[in-house]
Structure 1
Amino acid sequence: MNDQLIRSAGNAIARFTRGNGRVAIVNYHRVLAAPSPFLASEPDIDTFTWQMELLARCFNVLSLRDALAAIESGRVPPRAVCITFDDGYRSVHELALPVLRRLKLPATVFVSSGYVNGHTMWNDRIVEAVETLPAEELDLAEFGLGVYSLRSMPERAATLGKLTEASKYLPPQERSRLVGRLETLVGESAVEGLMLTPEMMINLDRHGIEIGAHTVTHPILTSLDDASAMQEIAGSKRDLEAIIGKPVPLFAYPNGKVGKDYDARHVAMVREAGFQAAFTTAVGSITRHHDRFQLPRSRPWDDTPLRFGLRLLQWLARG
């Protein structure tokens, strides 16, 4: 019954917006083997599986390449959706790929090239510190970040959210120093190997999962000087093309909030670097009226199939 409701509502939205086809893009980072209180916004494999099954039953799932071509030609099918992942976690290969292959669903992975093959992203160092440190508090006053409570599991989870958000906007050198401090506190790391290897990227590409660029080290672009920002943007394209042996035409802005995380300078840099389209984290669906280098996509938060489906319909109706 819910599937019929979702399909019928999606068809009605398509009829109402005839001549202005719309595509909703869902965005993930990683898929978890089991739920984690420290990564509550990330789906575990069971949640991801029912989400993908709902997309396969109720929506027309397109690759980003096909979606952009359909918008250009004015031939977007009703209930059109794309699937994307950011950063380049190996769980996309290990956990998501088998589900996507079984359901014959295309997707795109936007990879931060500097973390490929064994390196660890800065945010995962923070997760490890908050999750494992035995102390009752984490003192990061020297970085201007204050003191955070680790006294209970809920307080640790709240600390992780606050600290991750604050750390995003540190100058790159300060953030590197913070990561070094956390590594000292944690000691031998248990989070190595979270990211894709070159071999995994090649295998994803061979199975129809497109590789896109997401800068080299995932900085907030507005925190960089122009030369450094251009190196991050163009360098990621160059690195990834060398790995998979084919053009990488799509880019996603780290964090993706216009005016806060990137601005008009970086849109121009993405064009200059030779990308064909770029994606933000704005809510809504893409249409032919959007700037090709500032296309919206959002993370699905809902925890039941009906709410998940209705959320996508809301994006399609919103345009």
Structure 2
Amino acid sequence: MTINSLIYKIGRPLGALKLSKRLTRKHPRILMYHRVHRSGYKYGLSEDIFREQMRRIKKSFNVLTLEELLFENYSGRFPENAVVVTFDDGYYDFSKYAFPIMKEEGIRPTLFITTGFVNGDLWLWPDKIRYALDNTCVDEFGIDQISTVLNLKLDAERAWHLISDYCLTIKNHEKEVFIRSLYRKLEVKMPTTPPRDYRPVSWNEVREMMKDGLDVGSHSHSHPILTKLNEGELSDELKKSKELILKELKVTTRIFCYPNGQRTDFNDKVKEYVSDAGYQYAVSAFPAMNPLACPFELNRYSIDNNMDNFEKVLYGLSFLALKAENNL
């Protein structure tokens, strides 16, 4: 059991959430979401759980947009118990399920758009892997690059993670070749456009949501791992996304979101290119002691269906556990 879980299990019945919230009131929680679905769908966050999470945030915390948080921090008027809600990618379910719930609760989120996806030019490579695994009649197969036999009947989720993790380690063009070979191995025909469950939000839907307070940032054009691109490809991903957002939405976005967003997915060179492309901030996908310390490495907490983990993040127990681990 982790320090975080131990503190939560012992302390929650004794009022630990209230105490932790007070102790961590100066620590902003920037939350990261991806998908929200109707209850019972096997992928993404349940809309019922998401609604409960938004209600808890709105009831007891100071909810800001990411732009507002950055402005307040820059101005030296840092708000206590600040919470920011962000979404990555730009799936259709953001407009169908997630945004209506947040609008109802008076929460204005930030959506980081993968512009090639929203523009209808492509669909996201992790979804291509998921679709292949979900639609094959092959139960067991081997992949030389992973050096293991994968059994979809026993653990399809493990297979998806192993294959996706491998794709994170190779160059973008190599990934495309690998995924095509996966489809051949699994005897599945790859759709040219995203299937219904993997379709994007439309530009028109984004425009309408912006009228109701939605903030928009860039999540690249095609969602590659930026450290796996050459200089020309990297520059193109950053500038093309920014320019398309300006063209379609008439806003100049200042904030970039690293695809995948882990420590190995960006470096100082990538940060330099992000800055050169005209962005002033960039967000990652992992938490840290001071999430606003580096403008090009703002830190976020990943949120899922687990309400215990949500409470730990929201009330500061995760931050206290991180602080304790750093002090060991």
Which of the numbers 279, 284, 288 marks the counterpart of 1:280? 284
| Contact kept? 2:87, 2:112, Cα under 8 Å | yes
After TM superposition, the structure 1 = structure 2 runs for residues 27-38 of structure 1, keeping only pairs within 5 Å, are: 27-37=32-42
Which of the numbers 59, 62, 79 marks the counterpart of 1:60? 62
- Which residues of structure 1 form unaligned runs of 5+? 15-20
Structure 2 residue 22 is the aligned partner of structure 1 residue 11:
yes
What is the match of residue 248 of structure 2?
Answer: 243
Q: Which amino acid aligns with 1:252?
A: C
Q: d(CA) in 2 for partners of 1:151 and 1:285?
A: 39
Which range moved further: 27-36 or 290-299? 27-36
SS at match of 1:293: coil
After TM superposition, the structure 1 = structure 2 runs for residues 78-97 of structure 1, keeping only pairs within 5 Å, are: 78-97=80-99
CA RMSD for the aligned pairs?
A: 2.4
After TM superposition, the structure 1 = structure 2 runs for residues 1-319 of structure 1, keeping only pairs within 5 Å, are: 6-7=17-18, 9-14=20-25, 21-37=26-42, 39=43, 42-118=44-120, 119-141=122-144, 144-146=145-147, 148-152=149-153, 154-182=154-182, 185-187=187-189, 189=191, 191-192=195-196, 194-258=199-263, 260-284=264-288, 286=290, 290-301=293-304, 303-304=306-307, 307-312=309-314, 313-315=316-318, 317=320
| Contact kept? 1:23, 1:287, Cα under 8 Å | yes
Give TM-score, length-normalised by structure 2: 0.84
Q: d(CA) in 2 for partners of 1:177 and 1:270?
A: 27
| Contact kept? 1:284, 1:315, Cα under 8 Å | no
Q: d(CA) in 2 for partners of 1:23 and 1:286?
A: 8
Q: Which amino acid aligns with 2:268?
A: A
Q: d(CA) in 2 for partners of 1:25 and 1:104?
A: 17
Change (3 A) 1:77 1:11: farther
Q: Could you give the per-residue CA deviations for residues 18-69 of structure 1, whole angstroms, max 9, x where no partner exists?
A: xxx43111101111223455x3xx3111111111111111211110011011
Change (3 A) 1:216 1:231: same
Query: Deviation at 1:174?
Result: 1.6
Q: d(CA) in 2 for partners of 1:150 and 1:191?
A: 24
Change (3 A) 1:286 1:95: farther
Q: d(CA) in 1 for partners of 2:209 and 2:41?
A: 26
Q: d(CA) in 1 for partners of 2:239 and 2:289?
A: 27
Q: Which amino acid aligns with 2:287?
A: V
Q: Which amino acid aligns with 1:149?
A: L
Q: d(CA) in 2 for partners of 1:251 and 1:202?
A: 19
Query: Deviation at 1:207?
Result: 1.7
- Which residues of structure 2 form unaligned runs of 5+? 1-11, 324-328
Query: Deviation at 1:236?
Result: 1.0
Q: d(CA) in 2 for partners of 1:200 and 1:183?
A: 32
Give TM-score, length-normalised by structure 1: 0.86
| Contact kept? 1:125, 1:182, Cα under 8 Å | no
Q: d(CA) in 2 for partners of 1:113 and 1:30?
A: 17
Change (3 A) 1:58 1:270: same
SS at match of 1:283: coil
> Could you list the runs of 4 or more consecutive aligned residues of structure 1 that deviate by over 6 angstroms after TM superposition?
none
Query: Deviation at 1:6?
Result: 3.9
**Aligned pairs, how many?**
303
